[in-house]
Structure formats: structure tokens, C-alpha cells
């Protein structure tokens, strides 16, 4: 029976990974959660495996090493996401890159044989459309539209993949896998709680971030969590899985950003006939950016809206999960209709 560690297990995805390890991790006896705050179960499920909450920081290698003692596999989900107008690049590098290096060092020291890393499809987002992409056809763009967040996650992914087959302290080798989800929806999604207030006025969704007619991909968080479980289980029996990354998507259809939001902000919401050019919005944001830099010595001000976000909702990008299906038999546990229902049921304030 195995003991596993989930870094960032208190977060949106982390809560679902812990849930699905509880439900489907048949060979697991203990789930350890390493995070800034104590783990509190926020989803409903039968909990028959021990959960040990460890307060710590992946930037502290000693903290991670202690958490990895006696662990058989690490699910490394902890990261810093910042796509704001003035992102904290130094902090993202410290968490996403150096923190990942600390996790690898801890695995080596404590002879942890499996590392399942959470990357992001955002590392592949550029300025060109991608339709039905696969791991063999979609390459890293010359310039990532997700800025330094995408770049730091890309670097961490490359580090993890390159460590596959490296020697552990006990003489065994480390097997690594990268799981790369797109934007996710589902229970505990913090963005759904604010989408109505920010996007809709008087029953109309105003297109102030461009035409937003690009087809985008979002996945249900439960299906993404299940891919982590399936990858972990398959890695125990098939070493060839190691040293590779997999797109963690499901059968949610490619949709425009507005179509994606409609079930949660109201199906009867109208859409404005006019829109603000996304190039104009980006130009304005660049002007604001330089203004904020000028006043930054006197006052720190930031915008959550950035050209990265504008470009994302206006550039078609969707891929398939064919590789994960072929290599380790992944298939979505929840269909699209059930995924949306579960999400809506978690938001009683917008239920009809």
C-alpha cells in the first residue's frame, strides 16, 4: 500500500485530486497534503484513507523533504498563477521553477519513485490558432501569450521531464509525468463566483474584451483530477509512460468564452451586438502599464486584466486527449452534461 503527497492540495484542483485519490486510489493507504494552510475537505465523498495535513512551502526544500519521507509518489500541483498587468515574475520563478526543483531534490533524497507534475496548456498558448492539436503537433510558441506564467511553467515542465530516469538515493530511478490541463471549471472554481458581477449588466454580456468569437477549451476539474489518478496508476506498471507529458482535456466542446460562461451566468443573458476591438483594448492596457510603472515608486497599483487575458479569449485553441487515451487508457469519468450540472449545483445562487 502506498503513501502519496499532494502539493497544493488545498486549492481548486488539489481538492479534486484528493477526492479522486480517495475514491479510486485502491493501493493508497495515506494521502499527505502539503500547503500553506491546513487541509479542510470541501467536497462531499467517502473518506476511508488517512489524510495528513502538512503546513509548508515548496520554496523551502527542507520542508518538502520532510513531507516526502516514506512517500511513494508525489502529485506536484502547487504553483503561482499571475496573468495580471504587472505580474510578480520573481515570485512566479521562485515558486514555479525553483519550487519544482526543490520537489525533485526531495524526491531524490527520499527515494520517491513517481512524480506526477501539473503543468498547463497555457505554456502552449501563442498568437496562432490551434484546432484539434496533439502533443506531437503542438509546439511551444516563440512568444507565449500567457506571459511569464506560461514561461515559468514551461521551464518547470522541461525540468521534470528531463529528470525521468534519474537515480534516487536508494539506487532506484525516478519516473516523471507531466499532466497539462487547460482552464478548468467545476465545484470550488473561484472564477464562477464573480463572473456574473464582472461580465453582465442589465441582462447583457458586454463584449469589452474584443469580439470573443474564438473557440476555446475548458475541462471539468473532476476529469482532470482523474487523469492524474490514471497516470499514477499506469506509471506503476508501465515505465514507458515516464518522461512524457499529456494534454488533460475532456469532451467539453470548444466554445467561445461567452458560450462557456452562459450556463453559470444565465442562459437568457443577451450578448451586445457591438464590441471593442481587442487590439484597441490591448493598446489601452499597454498605456496603462507604462503609467503604472511611472507611479510605481510612489504607489503600487495593478490590474487583473492584461493583454495576455485579452489575447487568450480571442485566439482559437483546442486539443485532444488521444495520447492519454492510447498510452494509459484515459477517458473522461464525467460527460459534459454531468460536468455542467455538477458545476451549477455548486452555485445555488444562480440556480433557477
Model pLDDT, residue 351: 40
Q: Indicate the SS3 state at residue 60.
A: coil
CA dist 348 and 312 (Å) reads 29
Model pLDDT, residue 21: 98
Model pLDDT, residue 263: 87
Strand ranges in 135-269 using DSSP code E only, listed in sequence order? 175-180, 183-185, 200-201, 204-207, 218-220, 244-247
Model pLDDT, residue 348: 64
- For residues 245 and 161, the answer to whether their CB atoms sit within 8 Å is yes
Alpha helices in 238-277 (DSSP H): 257-265
Q: Indicate the SS3 state at residue 274.
A: strand
CA dist 299 and 84 (Å) reads 17
pLDDT in tens, 120-167: 999 999 999 999 999 999 999 998 988 999 999 999 999 999 999 999
- For residues 201 and 270, the answer to whether their CB atoms sit within 8 Å is no
pLDDT in tens, 165-209: 999 999 999 999 999 999 999 999 987 654 545 566 667 888 889
Beta pairing class for 200-201 and 204-207: antiparallel
- For residues 100 and 30, the answer to whether their CB atoms sit within 8 Å is no
Model pLDDT, residue 153: 98
Q: What is the pTM of this model?
A: 0.94
Domains of the chain: 2-182+219-250+318-334 (3.40.50.720)
Model pLDDT, residue 162: 97
Determine phi and psi for 154, rounding to 5 degrees.
Answer: -65, -45
- Report the Cα 294 to chain-centroid distance in Å: 33
Model pLDDT, residue 6: 98
Model pLDDT, residue 352: 41
Going residue by residue through the chain, which has 352 residues, state the pLDDT in tens, using 9 for 90 and above.
899 999 999 999 999 999 999 999 999 999 999 999 999 999 999 999 999 999 999 999 999 999 999 999 999 999 999 999 999 999 999 999 999 999 999 999 999 999 999 999 999 999 999 999 999 999 999 989 889 999 999 999 999 999 999 999 999 999 999 999 999 999 999 876 545 455 666 678 888 899 999 999 999 999 999 999 999 999 988 888 899 999 999 999 999 998 998 888 777 788 888 899 999 999 999 999 999 999 999 999 999 899 999 999 999 999 999 999 999 999 999 999 999 999 999 986 544 4
Kind and range of the H or E element at 306?
Answer: none
Determine phi and psi for 7, rounding to 5 degrees.
Answer: -80, 140
Neighbour tally for 151: CB within 10 Å: 20
- For residues 11 and 190, the answer to whether their CB atoms sit within 8 Å is no
Amino acid at each position: 500500500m502506498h503513501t502519496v503527497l499532494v502539493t497544493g492540495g488545498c486549492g481548486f484542483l488539489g481538492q479534486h485530486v484528493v477526492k479522486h485519490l480517495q475514491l479510486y486510489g485502491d493501493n493508497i493507504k495515506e494521502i499527505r497534503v502539503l500547503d500553506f494552510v491546513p487541509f479542510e475537505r470541501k467536497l462531499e465523498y467517502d473518506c476511508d484513507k488517512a489524510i495528513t495535513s502538512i503546513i509548508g512551502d515548496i520554496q523551502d526544500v527542507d520542508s518538502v523533504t520532510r513531507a516526502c519521507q516514506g512517500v511513494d509518489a508525489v502529485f506536484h500541483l502547487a504553483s503561482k498563477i499571475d496573468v495580471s498587468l504587472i505580474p510578480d515574475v520573481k515570485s512566479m520563478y521562485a515558486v514555479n521553477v525553483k519550487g519544482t526543483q526543490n520537489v525533485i531534490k526531495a524526491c531524490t533524497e527520499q527515494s520517491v519513485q513517481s512524480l506526477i507534475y501539473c503543468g498547463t496548456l497555457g505554456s502552449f498558448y501563442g498568437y496562432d490558432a490551434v484546432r484539434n492539436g496533439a502533443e506531437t503537433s503542438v509546439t511551444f510558441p516563440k512568444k507565449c501569450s500567457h506571459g511569464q506564467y506560461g514561461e515559468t511553467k514551461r521551464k518547470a515542465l522541461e525540468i521534470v521531464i528531463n529528470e525521468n530516469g534519474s537515480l534516487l538515493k536508494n539506487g532506484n530511478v525516478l519516473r516523471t509525468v507531466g499532466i497539462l490541463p487547460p482552464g478548468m471549471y467545476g465545484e470550488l472554481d473561484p472564477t464562477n463566483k464573480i463572473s456574473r458581477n464582472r461580465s453582465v449588466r442589465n441582462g447583457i454580456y458586454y463584449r469589452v474584451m474584443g469580439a470573443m468569437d474564438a473557440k476555446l477549451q475548458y475541462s471539468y476539474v473532476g476529469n482532470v483530477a482523474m487523469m492524474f489518478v490514471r497516470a499514477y496508476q499506469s506509471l506503476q506498471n508501465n515505465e514507458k509512460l515516464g518522461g512524457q507529458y499529456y494534454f488533460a482535456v475532456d469532451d467539453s466542446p470548444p466554445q467561445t468564452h461567452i458560450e462557456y460562461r452562459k450556463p453559470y451566468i444565465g442562459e437568457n443573458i443577451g450578448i451586445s451586438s457591438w464590441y471593442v476591438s481587442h487590439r484597441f483594448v490591448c493598446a489601452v492596457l499597454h498605456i496603462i502599464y507604462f503609467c503604472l510603472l511611472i507611479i510605481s515608486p510612489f504607489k503600487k497599483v495593478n490590474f487583473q486584466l492584461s493583454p495576455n487575458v485579452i489575447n487568450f479569449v480571442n485566439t482559437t485553441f483546442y486539443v485532444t486527449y488521444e495520447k492519454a487515451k492510447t498510452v494509459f487508457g484515459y477517458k473522461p469519468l464525467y460527460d459534459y452534461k454531468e460536468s455542467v450540472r455538477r458545476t451549477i449545483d455548486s452555485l445555488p445562487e444562480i440556480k433557477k
